[in-house]
Amino acid sequence: MTASREIHLVRRPEGMPVPEDFALVETQVAELGEGEVLVRNLLMSVDPYMRPRLSGAQPLNAAMEGGALGRIEKSRNPAFKEGSLVTSRQGFRELFVSDGKGLTPLSPDPALPLSVYMHVLGMTGFTAYGGLLHIGQLKDGEQVFVSTAAGAVGSIAAQIAKIKGCYVVGSTGSDDKVRWLTEEAGLDVALNYKNEPIRKALKAAAPKGIDVYFDNVGGDHLDAALSVMNTLGRIAVCGMISGYNEAGSRTPVYNLSNIIYGRINVRGFVGADFPHLYEPFRAEMAEWLKAGRIKYQETIYQGIDQAPAAMIGLLKGANTGKMLVALAD
Amino acid sequence: MTASREIHLVRRPEGMPVPEDFALVETQVAELGEGEVLVRNLLMSVDPYMRPRLSGAQPLNAAMEGGALGRIEKSRNPAFKEGSLVTSRQGFRELFVSDGKGLTPLSPDPALPLSVYMHVLGMTGFTAYGGLLHIGQLKDGEQVFVSTAAGAVGSIAAQIAKIKGCYVVGSTGSDDKVRWLTEEAGLDVALNYKNEPIRKALKAAAPKGIDVYFDNVGGDHLDAALSVMNTLGRIAVCGMISGYNEAGSRTPVYNLSNIIYGRINVRGFVGADFPHLYEPFRAEMAEWLKAGRIKYQETIYQGIDQAPAAMIGLLKGANTGKMLVALAD
């Protein structure tokens, strides 16, 4: 038997999660049966979409779910060699046993750091890519607005739009992030929504209106975008983080009649909605990364015991770019 | 010179329009030049989409615009024979001179009453048809909700959904309309939103959720629909009449985060968004009408001087079905 540690949800959060909603639980990993493998997680992902799950789909007193990248430590399954890498949905734990289902072999490009497979080249980047190009139907040279533009998904969406020759406005919540967005990521305008009302700021920053809004926020950001959307504009709704932590109440949106006046298309999506784009995404994004055309930032917490703090920190905006937890080398 | 009368907008309405916002103006129609025709309007249309125009696009102290069906009274244009019928955007007036641009010749089916070309077989019906089948991507047998289901557009959308084998819930504002919807139009459930909160009523009426919501109302109806939409549901936004008359304020919507949880597509549209469907619509709808599969109701005011009352009555729900004004026989 081998000891492992994992994070359980022990109480449903009221509003913003607190450390007491989670518990670090020590477990014993069973011996491998025929066809099974033991995976040691190296990195795990912490994402905004996890917040609504805490109020619903995530069972109490069970290990939490999430993207993870691990190494096969022992194998009794010929399809997985010891020492090889896999991605899975078995985050929030150090070790786990699998019969191979739900494991995806990973052959990383040695020219790229391993962690990018957890964000730019993983589901985060894929969500940005498909959300912008497929759901948002982005055309070269359009006017684009991205909220939480310095976040893991937003920063990739904004930079893809720049690669496509668009005029790109991003919103974020600190002056440091504003600087990174304009000086590193190359956005045309970055707004700190804490410094001025987003609606007024966006109106000034987007004199030609907005054709595609990549929404991670909802609430006041969605309202602001609706007030400047051009006719036949598209709003790709990737998340609505503004409403995730409000117990019992949701942020109202007032400008919805612009949906009819502007014949706007507002569409919620997840990466599973455009699986046919996965291969072109991987190829194109790896090229952009190697050519230095996509910049990224990471915030990496150390150790499984820090996973709850990473989750809470993400929801409070403590991260810069993608939030990860490193579980082993 | 021939005398005509027309309706001008003389003041922008604050909230609900009042008679004083309009004026009946007597004019003289000019003699026909070469290539021109004189059209006498027989019927004109009054529609909810006109309300927002009164606060913006409609110029003051000029004849209002709207769909009309007229007869060529005099012609100096070989393309238009005297006595033939045309449709135009020149409503709200008795007579007008045209060089033929913007006139569409109409050859009505003698088996159908002329007025249906102003609604079921006109833009009203086309909006319902394309909104449901193209924008809403309706599939046979789905769960459907239509607001203002006894209205001109809503009643057609609801009945097309029934023809497609769907389970159809409609909302309306009177018990008489509830009866018409279930007993004549064949809806599965009709709700009077004045009798109980729409959210609770819809939840009870749609135990399998809603796949397609045909929205004419916005506000609380949109909120209610969002709370019961199935995954990958579609909301075809034809209008948001709830917000049209609220000076300075708009109805908030709270359940928008369901757009991301349910990967919902919300899309505003007008008939011009699917011109390729016009021919199939005309053929299919004429058949349904003749077969008695589409029922309709009309409210017809008499005389150009009644056009403002028809406009106000429409916005207050005084109409049953399509609101028309008859201007001549």
> What is the per-residue pLDDT across A42-80, written as a single tens digit (0 to 9) for each?
999 999 889 989 998 899 999 999 999 999 999 999 999
Mutate to test the interface with B, among A257, A263, A273 (most CBs of B within 10 A): A257
What burial class does residue B239 get, using C-beta atoms within 10 Å of its C-beta: 0-12 exposed, 13-18 middle, 19+ buried?
buried
How many alpha carbons fall within 13 Å on the CB side of residue B267?
26
Separation of alpha carbons A113 and B66, rounded Å? 63
Mutate to test the interface with A, among B215, B234, B259, B261 (most CBs of A within 10 A): B259
Residue in this structure with the two tokens 């909104």, named with its chain if needed: B131
Query: Please, are residues A86 and A44 in contact by the beta-carbon 8 Å criterion?
Result: no
Residue A257: in which H helix or E strand, if any?
helix A257-261
Give start-end residues of each CATH 3.90.180.10 domain in chain B. 2-119+297-326
Residue in this structure with the two tokens 């940005």, named with its chain if needed: A128
Give start-end residues of each CATH 3.40.50.720 domain in chain B. 123-274
Separation of alpha carbons A172 and A161, rounded Å? 17
Query: Please, are residues B327 and B114 in contact by the beta-carbon 8 Å criterion?
Result: no
Separation of alpha carbons A329 and A307, rounded Å? 16
CA B268 to each of CA A43, A75, A208, B172, B226: distance values in angstroms, whole numbers, following the listed order: 42, 54, 21, 21, 15
CB-CB neighbors (< 8 A) of A253 in chain B? 252-254, 256
Mutate to test the interface with A, among B214, B246, B260 (most CBs of A within 10 A): B260
pLDDT tens-digit profile, chain B (329 residues): 789 999 999 999 988 999 999 999 999 999 999 999 999 999 999 998 899 899 988 999 999 999 999 999 999 999 999 999 999 999 999 999 999 999 999 999 999 999 999 999 999 999 999 999 999 999 999 999 999 999 999 999 999 999 999 999 999 999 999 999 999 999 999 999 999 999 999 999 999 999 999 999 999 999 999 999 999 999 999 988 776 655 444 678 888 888 988 999 999 999 889 999 999 999 999 999 999 999 999 999 999 999 999 999 999 988 888 999 999 99
Longest Cα–Cα distance of chain A, Å, equals 64
What burial class does residue B187 get, using C-beta atoms within 10 Å of its C-beta: 0-12 exposed, 13-18 middle, 19+ buried?
buried
CB atoms within 10 A of CB B319: 21
What is the secondary structure of B42-71 as a DSSP string? Answer: EEEEE-TTHHHHHTTTSPTTSB--B-EEEE
In angstroms, what separates the C-alpha of A103 from chain B's closest C-alpha?
Answer: 25
**What residues in chain B have their Cβ under 8 A from chain A's Cβ atoms?**
52, 218, 222, 237-240, 243-244, 249-257, 259-270, 273
Query: Please, are residues A278 and A254 in contact by the beta-carbon 8 Å criterion?
Result: no
Superfamily of domain B2-119+297-326: Medium-chain alcohol dehydrogenases, catalytic domain (3.90.180.10)
Separation of alpha carbons B174 and B193, rounded Å? 8
Separation of alpha carbons A151 and A143, rounded Å? 20
pLDDT of the residue at B180: 96
Query: Helices B152-163 & B123-130, crossing angle to 10 degrees?
Result: 50
Q: How far is CA B24 from the centre of its chain?
A: 24
Q: How far is CA B102 from the centre of its chain?
A: 20
Question: For B123-274, CATH number?
Answer: 3.40.50.720
pLDDT of the residue at B248: 43
Superfamily of domain A128-274: NAD(P)-binding Rossmann-like Domain (3.40.50.720)
pLDDT tens-digit profile, chain A (329 residues): 789 999 999 999 998 999 999 999 999 999 999 999 999 999 999 998 899 899 988 999 999 999 999 999 999 999 999 999 999 999 999 999 999 999 999 999 999 999 999 999 999 999 999 999 999 999 999 999 999 999 999 999 999 999 999 999 999 999 999 999 999 999 999 999 999 999 999 999 999 999 999 999 999 999 999 999 999 999 999 988 776 655 444 678 888 888 988 999 999 999 889 999 999 999 999 999 999 999 999 999 999 999 999 999 999 988 888 999 999 99
Check CB contact under 8 Å for B268 and A264: yes
To the nearest 10°, the Cα dihedral for B271, B277, B280, B283? 10
Backbone angles phi, psi at A80, to 5 degrees: -130, 115
And the tokens for B90? 């020149």
CB atoms within 10 A of CB A90: 24
Residue in this structure with the two tokens 């005099």, named with its chain if needed: B74
Report which DSSP code applies to A63.
B
pTM of the model: 0.86
Check CB contact under 8 Å for B268 and A250: no
What is the secondary structure of B120-133 as a DSSP string? Answer: TTSHHHHHHHHIII
**What residues in chain A have their Cβ under 8 A from chain B's Cβ atoms?**
52, 218, 222, 237-240, 243-244, 249-270, 273
Instruction: Give SS3 for B187.
Output: coil
Query: Please, are residues A318 and A299 in contact by the beta-carbon 8 Å criterion?
Result: yes
CB atoms within 10 A of CB A232: 14
- Looking at A46-165, list the stretches that DSSP marks H as alpha helix, in order from N- to C-terminal side: 50-54, 123-130, 152-163
And the tokens for B260? 């991301």
Check CB contact under 8 Å for B260 and A238: yes
Give start-end residues of each CATH 3.40.50.720 domain in chain A. 128-274
To the nearest 10°, the Cα dihedral for A132, A135, A140, A146? -40
Separation of alpha carbons B161 and B55, rounded Å? 34
CB atoms within 10 A of CB A236: 27
Instruction: Give SS3 for A161.
Output: helix
CA A18 to each of CA A3, A15, A23: distance values in angstroms, whole numbers, following the listed order: 26, 9, 11
Total CB pairs under 8 A between chain A and B: 98
In angstroms, what separates the C-alpha of A254 from chain B's closest C-alpha?
Answer: 4
pLDDT of the residue at B249: 47
In angstroms, what separates the C-alpha of A206 from chain B's closest C-alpha?
Answer: 22
Separation of alpha carbons B325 and A8, rounded Å? 67
